[in-house]
Amino acid sequence: MMGTHLPNQNKLLYSLSLEVQQRLFPHLEVIEMPLGKVLHESGELIRYVYFPTSCIVSLVHVLKDSASTEVSVVGHDGLVGVSLFMSGGTTTLRAVVQGSGFAYRLATEHIAQEFHRHGELMLLVLRYIQTLLTQMSQTAVCNRHHNIEQQLCRWLLLSLDLVKDNHLAMTQALIANTLGVRRQSVTEAARRLHKHGAINYNRGHIWVTNRRKLEQLCCECYTVAKTEIDRLMN
């Protein structure tokens, strides 16, 4: 199973030239990413960056009362630990696995050394940081102006882009925690999406049965974020 996960399954690693890959790849370590695994907490010193190949990682802001809201999501299109490149070394966000799978991790000293060559890795990471900023700003707008059903549609579509099929292993409690809303609100929204024929769900599993319908029910926030991601990373 471990052998089926290769570095080039991550879009950022795949985009690097052979020369850069030869410098970085010997230091990569493939690790299993089970659901709920915390990669780093708010305020912790970042020791590794993570390049997901088949898992999904949620970047979450946690308040003092333990309430939380997801601000962005990372999959095979990116990396976890971008604050390393912004001179901080720590972050205000918790990184937690919301979709199990695998990732490659790289000790910060190795990627920092390559970043400070001021070459292609630096340019690629800066473009990726722009996509995260777009996600974060669009999430803030969506949470302020759109209803729970639209927020759930946006979240499902963003997550769906990071998996290979139409299946997401997500409990409604996890989704509620991620969106920062009550579980009952997610249950009611999921029920409406099921009634529209967009999804099926059962015991922690969601199947998107009609993506076009899901896109029609969604607000413009998904399209704005997706367009910017495609523009910068493809």
pLDDT tens, position by position, for the chain (234 residues)?
445 778 999 999 999 999 999 999 999 999 999 988 999 998 888 999 999 999 999 999 888 887 778 888 999 999 999 988 886 778 889 999 988 899 999 999 999 999 999 899 999 999 999 999 998 898 889 988 999 999 999 999 998 998 888 888 877 777 887 788 888 999 999 999 999 999 999 877 899 999 999 999 999 999 988 888 888 877
Query: Does this model's pTM top 0.85?
Result: yes
Domains observed in the chain: 2-140 (2.60.120.10), 147-218 (1.10.10.10)
Give the 3-state secondary structure of the chain. CHHHCCHHHCHHHHHCCHHHHHHHHHHCEEEEECCCCEEECCCCCCCEEEEECCCEEEEEEECCCCCEEEEEEECCCCCECHHHHHCCCCCCCEEEEEECEEEEEEEHHHHHHHHCCCCHHHHHHHHHHHHHHHHHHHHHHHHHHCCHHHHHHHHHHHHHCCCCCCEECCCHHHHHHHHCCCHHHHHHHHHHHHHCCCEEEECCEEEECCHHHHHHHCCCHHHHHHHHHHHHHC
pLDDT at 65: 81
pLDDT at 208: 94
